[in-house]
Structure 1
Amino acid sequence: MSIGHSSMLPQVSTTDSGAVYHALPPAEVDDDYDSELELAFDDSATFVVDQVVDSRIWWIYFMLGCAILLPWNVLITATSFFLSRLVGSPLRATFASYLTTTSNVFNVFALAHATATSKQSSPSRRVFWSAASVTLIIILLFFSTFGYYQPSTFFFFAILCAISLAICVSYLSTAAFAGASLFGAPYMQSMISGQAAIAVVVSVVQVATTTLSVWGSTPETIAAFISNDGIGDGMTEQDSARIFFGISALFMVSTFMAYAWMAQLPAYKATVGILEQKIKLEGAPGSADETGGLVFRDTNQASLEERNQIIRVFKANILYELALAYVYVITLAIFPVITITIQPTNPNTHPLLFTAIHFLMFNLGDFFGRYICSFPIVTTWSATRILAFSVVRTLFIPIFLLCNTVQGPSRGLPVISSDFVYILLVGALGLSSGYVSTLCMLGASSLEHNPRLRQRREDVPTASTVAGFCLIVGLAIGGFGSFGVRAIICQCNPFVN
């Protein structure tokens, strides 16, 4: 699938100088917002900014977007492999909740530090070392598929790898999003699209390998697999995970090399180089930056100004940030911890294939949810409206609790017993997650559509990193919430461990 600056961004026209990206439609100012901003941001005005899109940089930021969510998607799609290595351990039943919760909690603290120190470290250097670290950890996971270990030992190994990946990705995402935000909306959306695209690719590989491994399964063998709590010989899960980890490591190496090349481009140095110059000149009294005329003071005063800037941006974008966090509170409370417990009603459908298809449907929905934000007709910039969309997604929790297996035999037939309807619900969960989260990320850091930034260009990187931090907070809270939702399932169905 070609995802260039012409297909993913429909408002692009070609000129003699290259592809020109036309910014998304004018901002929608909340009715209850400060009236003083109306002078600077008029609803009747049209904010159209022609910007030459460098396809080379666009694609490399697309790869960086893939790299940011690649570790997480590989971990959750390899959940079946981890569970196959934990047979006989009491930790097996709650492994998925521990995986999501611990990784996201550490992600919160790492991202908080990465955000607070984002202007004290070179973005390029952070991308380099964090991408290299992610690659090494994925290589370790790849080699883990060739051996067998004590379940408790493997449990702590998997959790430690998840935590390490979360920490490294925190620094990678803050540095990459800060750079993309300086280039503009097309590059921000390329990263967001890359995050969704990599999940689809991983899921397609998982469905393909799982289909080949369970091909020819009879209803009897499927029933035996289910009655044995989904415990087989583990070869299918092992082969799939090995492919995931191997391909992921190769992709990370490619991304590292592509970014190293991009960092030498004049366009990159002229844009992201602003941050690099500020870091180099930090502490030089009276010295000024060529592009902004910034006066650099002592380190303590600079740190205080950075904290004040973060607090100011956080308060200004509070509605976007609450909406973004709550999107992932709901998503992580359900997916994948709860959704993987839902079994097919068709006896001819193997549970492993059903689980792989459900991952693919969620990721396809997430991808298209992010993609449709390129179309003005379905795009809104109103923070209040976006927050309302986020809150309405709470309805997904009771809806999924009505699906097959969750209610259990003691409750009789489930209210939602159709596999097709369930798969559509998973797709809707992903679609709404991608759509609302993308609106939040784009709106929070947009000078053209977010009057709360008051045209302060220096606040754009901070707005994107603070929004990313709120996203991770939502993931962590959602991970904890999955324990509560699982407890509800266990009360409804004593057969679920």
Structure 2
Amino acid sequence: MVQSYSSMASKGINSDEDQTALESQYEDIADVDAHPTMDPDSSILLCIPIIHKAVTLRALKYVTFLLCGMANLWPWNCFLSASEYFRSRLESSPALSSNYSSTMMTVWTLVSTVFNFYVSQKQENVDYLFRLKLGCLIQIIVFFSMSVGVLFPQTWTTFYFSFVMLNVAISAVGACLTQVAIIALVNVKGPIYANANVVGNAISGVLPSISMIIAVVTNKHAQSRSAEGAKYFLTSVFVTLVALIFAEVTAWHENQVLNDGFESQENSLEPVTTQRRFVSFKHIWQPLKFVESTIILVFSITLAFPIFASFVDSHFVSRKVFVPVIFLVWNLGDLAGRVVCAWKFFVVGNQKLMVLYAVSRIVYIPLFMLCNAFGRNENGSIITDIFYIMLQFMFGFSNGQLFSSAFMLIGHLLYTDDEKKAAGGYTALVINISLLLGSIMSYLLVVEMG
């Protein structure tokens, strides 16, 4: 049923009809449709002999979107989670060391914003699957380069800082390509695949922190942290390579399924790889204004998290362990917030309530300032550390829940496939503008806390 954009935007998913339509997407990805011939996604690709479980094309696509979501956000989280490593690596220059996180976020978001604007204007005849693969290849090259860069002499502080920021900028371009491609694909596919993507994003926040902790703990030469960095960055290469392989395998299987006689291509990746007409931002903004405003508020406030994670100390745990642990805690909260949105009860469906929820998160900033930032609270106890850890978890949870809710609504609020694909570029641009605003605000926090 065709609905006008104004009516769709005003009611969001609040009507029974829209709510039912959205809930229908929350299906078990392992289930096979009652009418498999009508749905290529229900095609059985193989049967696992030991557990006697059929693997459908739908299940493979879910896993692929999850892995691509991981690969998409892994570079950002990798550079963030390694903040303590870089601060240690740059310790001979206090100015570079203390401003690493803010500079990294500003370089990333500035490059991403400019490149996303360019990409959002290049819509006609764009192959989104090609963009996805190209973005993954760029990330593989960047992090292999970073793994080699750990061999640079410690005295090359300024050169190494410039080298890292150059790789951050190139990585941001690769992330833009994959992000726009993934959003375009899942907007057409439906909320369940959008959820797979955002869950993958959150997992990519958790695993780099764990990877860094393992690298620190297993380092037998505490005075030299080159081995830590090499293992950490090579892990990023591996993750991105796996996502690229799964994307190729999924595309091949879909072509095989379609060639085997499925007439309906509605649920295939192939038809959405190319966009046929240009859709303006003004046209997209009307139905998505509350959703996009929520995304801006969420990420603008969220970027206070890396600053506090880097500068709030524990009274009982060393910095090189405590900092990656805090990144892990926040990202576990973010993961939990995204995963629970697989159940409709946790999805924030009222768009105006979504905006109010996003605004209310600013209260976390003064609460973080009560903790042991820059060693101000020297008389703190284990209770202070626990309070800080709980705050970081809840801050992450609210980020994951809000972003997942907003992301899953985008495809539902638009009507044609070209609009849904165009929304990929515009949403990626909005995300990066909000991250840019947050990174600029992070400088003000550093000044205030310093």
Partners of 1:190 and 1:276 lie apart in 2 by 19
- Calculate the TM-score normalised by the size of structure 1: 0.75
Change in Cα spacing, 1:65 to 1:313, as seen in structure 2 (3 Å) is same
On the 8 A contact 2:105/2:439 being kept in 1, the answer is yes
On the 8 A contact 2:188/2:272 being kept in 1, the answer is no
Higher RCO (CA-CA < 8 Å; seq separation 6+): 2
Q: Is structure 2 residue 40 aligned with structure 1 residue 63? A: no
1:122-174 alpha-carbon deviations (Å, 9 max, x no partner): 11211122211110011000111223251110111001100110111101110
Partners of 2:337 and 2:132 lie apart in 1 by 27
Partners of 2:273 and 2:217 lie apart in 1 by 49
**SS, match of residue 264 in structure 1:** helix
Match for residue 364 of structure 2 among 391, 396, 402: 396
**SS, match of residue 96 in structure 2:** coil
| Matched ranges for 1:86-485 at <5 A | 86-89=90-93, 90-148=95-153, 150-212=156-218, 235-236=224-225, 238-266=226-254, 270=265, 271-276=268-273, 302=277, 306-308=278-280, 310-332=281-303, 334-346=304-316, 349-406=317-374, 408=376, 418-446=384-412, 450=413, 453=414, 455-485=415-445
1:299-334 alpha-carbon deviations (Å, 9 max, x no partner): xxx5xxx243x32112321111111111111111x1
On the 8 A contact 2:279/2:419 being kept in 1, the answer is no
Q: Is structure 2 residue 53 aligned with structure 1 residue 80? A: no
Q: CA deviation at 1:439?
A: 0.8
Percent identical: 18
Partners of 2:218 and 2:336 lie apart in 1 by 27
Q: CA deviation at 1:417?
A: 6.3
Match for residue 16 of structure 2 among 31, 43, 63: 43
**SS, match of residue 445 in structure 1:** helix
Q: Normalized per residue, which structure has more helix?
A: 2
Q: Which amino acid aligns with 1:235?
A: S
On the 8 A contact 1:134/1:168 being kept in 2, the answer is yes
Partners of 1:344 and 1:338 lie apart in 2 by 12
1:366-397 alpha-carbon deviations (Å, 9 max, x no partner): 00000111122222211101001100001111
On the 8 A contact 1:67/1:252 being kept in 2, the answer is yes
Partners of 1:104 and 1:383 lie apart in 2 by 26
Q: CA deviation at 1:415?
A: 11
Partners of 1:111 and 1:277 lie apart in 2 by 18
On the 8 A contact 1:404/1:417 being kept in 2, the answer is no
**SS, match of residue 68 in structure 1:** helix
Moved over 4 A (4+): 33-38, 50-53, 276-279, 412-417
Partners of 1:278 and 1:208 lie apart in 2 by 43
Larger Rg: 1
Q: CA deviation at 1:209?
A: 3.3
Partners of 2:275 and 2:312 lie apart in 1 by 52
1:384-426 alpha-carbon deviations (Å, 9 max, x no partner): 01001100001111111111135726xx857996111111111
5+ long unaligned stretches in structure 1:
1-32, 215-231, 280-301, 491-497
Q: Which amino acid aligns with 2:79?
A: L
On the 8 A contact 2:279/2:418 being kept in 1, the answer is no
Partners of 1:373 and 1:213 lie apart in 2 by 38
Q: CA deviation at 1:365?
A: 0.3
Change in Cα spacing, 1:406 to 1:260, as seen in structure 2 (3 Å) is same
On the 8 A contact 1:182/1:272 being kept in 2, the answer is no
